[in-house]
A and B are shown apart, each in its own frame.
Chain A
Amino acid sequence: MAVISRGFIGRGGETDPDLPAGQYLTADFPVLSAGPTPHIDTADWQFSIRTDSDTLHTWNWDELHALSIEDIDTDIHCVTRWSKLGTSWRGVSLDTLFATVKTTDEYVMAHSYGGYTTNVPLADLLGGQAWIALEFDGNKLDPEHGGPARLLIPHLYFWKSAKWIHGLEMQSQDKPGFWEQNGYNMFGDPWLEQRYW
């Protein structure tokens, strides 16, 4: 039985069905990252997928832009409890990038410029669920929001949408990434409130 907080009313009102439990709506776009923001020149930028056979598939900035770029309208949910509904992004689907990749591994470690990592099952990157995002709200991505390119996996808590994405490494087992070693859940489904260990 919950403790009633004497005199607390809150914003109250109807619960938005698009808002997972324990989240609140924000119109801002808060920034959360564990260290300094890396500043990456797109002339030097590279994205790669490393498979179990030690094969490296790489794309530079121009090669990525030569692929089909999709419009993505989605809600995003941060484990620190803010959610933002109806956000607009543009990016390349991971389905497009994995089209030429052969792998039997079921897990992925995402690696970012600056050293950040996060783990995701491959199944959650495919089937129109994940993108390399290049634009937010009609503008190129700010460095503090993960520019020039970030992973976008909106059906998981937003720490899985690694900023400053540099590459994906296939792995046979699910290993914890950065926040997953520092107190956060291995999977991170906002609808199941999988926040912490």
Chain B
Amino acid sequence: MTGTNEARDGRIGNWKVGVVTSIRRESASGRSITIDVPGWGGNIAGQHTDVRLTAQNGYTAVRSYSVASAGVGDRIELAVDRLPSGEVSPYLVDTLREGDELELRGPLGGWFVWTPEQSESVQLIGGGSGIVPLMAMIRSHEASGSTTPFRLLYSVRTPLDAFFRAELESPTANLEVTWIFTRRAPSGCSRPAGRITAADLEAHGFPAALSPTVFVCGPTGFVETVATALVALGHEPNRVKTERFGGA
């Protein structure tokens, strides 16, 4: 069995060496990082990659990150939020510079993904850096010319905490974006600041009767709240795909 599995590991391939081509500030703690990874060969929207760091003494640390980009080619974008007690994310946010090399392995994952062949309505619900795989879906949707209706509910603490703010503030014709601010809403925002509720999902999400595919990504508490509320609103549990950011 081991031999078979080793052969199958070859489908994801060995570690590839990428070069950071640009880093953009998304928020005080968030950066998007564009990397050229020869041999990457493209990914489906929603997939992730392992990132490996190696210290001078040989110590290594590996974590998985969602890819914010989708499509063919060897250039990918990650977006990373610094976890205060994290080991890899502080390095990626604070130390990594353009021109640095980074080892990656992927793309990984075949469940929390969207492909342009899907024709049903799509409801995206993201909390914090949980926007990253959803952003890949939004970009794939736009790049493919898909006319399938997309809606995004994006929950962030304050406007300054939003990733991809400019891109999401001028969405394309087939994408509707609703912002949920949990700590401080901008002036002129009719919804007071507060955590996402079933009422938000009912007011701004696709109704269950439309049988949308729903992608929910964020911290565990956020995902639990949203997924439970969606089921209570009548969404079929098997149409609600979740990805929880639980680790450090």
Judging by beta carbons under 8 Å apart, are B55 and A8 in contact? yes
The CA of A2 and the CA of B59, in the complex, are separated in Å by 10
In the complex, the chain B residue whose C-beta lies closest to that of A82 is B247
**A22 CA to B51 CA in the complex, in Å?**
11
Complex-state Cα separation, A24 to B1, whole angstroms: 26
Task: Tell me which residues across on chain A come within 8 A of B56, comparing CB atoms.
Answer: 4
User: Do A31 and B12 form a contact, CB below 8 Å, given A3-B17, A8-B53, A10-B59?
Assistant: no
| Structural contact, B59 and A12, CB atoms closer than 8 A | yes
B102 engages A3 (CB within 8 Å): yes
In the complex the two chains form, is B246's CB within 8 Å of A28's CB?
yes
State in angstroms the CA–CA spacing of A82 and B86 once bound together.
12
User: Does B120 have its Cβ within 8 Å of any Cβ on chain A?
Assistant: no
User: Does B108 belong to the interface (CB within 8 Å)?
Assistant: yes
* Residues of B close to A34: CB separation below 8 A: 111-112, 241-242
Interface residue range, chain A: 35 or more
**Distance from B125 Cβ to chain A, minimum over Cβ atoms (Å):** 12
Chain A residues close to B by CB (< 8 Å): 2-12, 22, 24, 26, 28, 30-38, 78, 80-82, 114-115, 144, 178-179, 181-183, 185-187, 192, 194, 196-197
Interface residues of B (CB under 8 A from A): 1-2, 4-5, 8-9, 11-12, 17, 52-64, 87-88, 91, 95, 97, 100-103, 108-112, 220, 224, 227-228, 230-231, 237-238, 240-242, 244, 246-248
Contacts A/B (CB < 8 Å), 26 sampled: A3-B103, A4-B55, A5-B102, A8-B53, A8-B95, A10-B61, A11-B61, A24-B61, A26-B247, A28-B246, A28-B248, A31-B224, A31-B244, A34-B112, A36-B230, A37-B224, A37-B227, A37-B228, A78-B247, A80-B247, A81-B62, A81-B64, A144-B220, A182-B109, A187-B1, A194-B5
